[in-house]
Amino acid sequence: MFEKFSREARTAVVSAQDDAKELGAKRIGPEHVLLGTLSNAEPGLRAVLDARGITADGVRTALAARTSEPPLGADDAQALRSIGIDLDAVRASIADNFGPEAWDRAEPEDRRGIFGRLLGSGHIPFTGTAKKSLELALREAIHRKDREISSTYLLLGILRGADPGTTELLGGRDAVSALRADLYAMLDHAA
């Protein structure tokens, strides 16, 4: 499928991996594909995005803020408390048993195997929703009888995937619907 991508779309997907790594993500999500697409948009797409106030810098800032949030916040503590779990007591117990910084340094186990850990593959996998967005981009191009998947189709695939986090980054469902209409109008005008 990658051979059907335009140069800008290929660059966007590669950029998504770089952005995910830079933001400390373990997997490439649709939000990273969005960021890669925004960073590498073709001129026509750039004009539509600029008109809507959607920028790579804005999305990058929002994603960085998401990743810097504590893993469990006040809402999580309240939800756990409702089922009889005291998060403060759990944190205190972890600190007593493993040291005061144990909570901060906890990371999931690396499952790449000995050679992957030693040599580092440099590649991080796509989430299921990111893969689905790429598949939906292909479907959008096929539906419009286009032979190439441009970054506009990447963005349409992301919008069609309706990932809640990505929808939030773009300003909500109404903003996504308006952006989708603008993208179709742009494609219709170009045809």
Q: What is the CATH number of the domain that holds 182?
A: 1.10.1780.10
Q: What is the CA radius of gyration of the chain?
A: 20
- Burial of 94: CB neighbours in 10 Å, binned 0-12, 13-18, 19+: middle
Residue 180 maps to a domain: yes
Nearest to 187 by CA among 143, 135, 136, 132: 143
Q: What is the mean pLDDT of the chain?
A: 84
Task: Give the pair of three-digit tokens for residue 81.
Answer: 């408390």
Residue 61 lies in a domain: yes
Q: Mean pLDDT across the stretch 7-13?
A: 91
> Which position has the higher pLDDT, 32 or 104?
32
Q: What total of structural domains would you count in the chain?
A: 1
pLDDT tens-digit series, residues 154-181: 999 999 998 898 999 999 999 999 999 9
Q: Is residue 117 part of a domain?
A: no
54-71: burial string, b at 16+ Cβ within 10 Å, e else:
bebeebbeebeeeeeeee
Q: What is the mean pLDDT of residues 10-17?
A: 92
In a domain, 63, yes or no: yes
**Angle at 179 (CA atoms; ends 173, 182), nearest 5 degrees:** 145
Query: Given a cut of 70, is residue 88 above it in pLDDT?
Result: yes
Residues sharing a CB contact under 8 Å with residue 24, sequence separation 6 or more, in sequence order: 67
Whether 106 is in a domain gets the answer no
| Any domain includes 7 | yes
d(CA 132, CA 130): 5
Does residue 97 sit within a domain? no
Range of the domain at 14: 2-69+126-190
Give domain status of residue 116, yes or no: no
Residue 52: pLDDT over 70? yes
Q: What is the pTM of this model?
A: 0.72
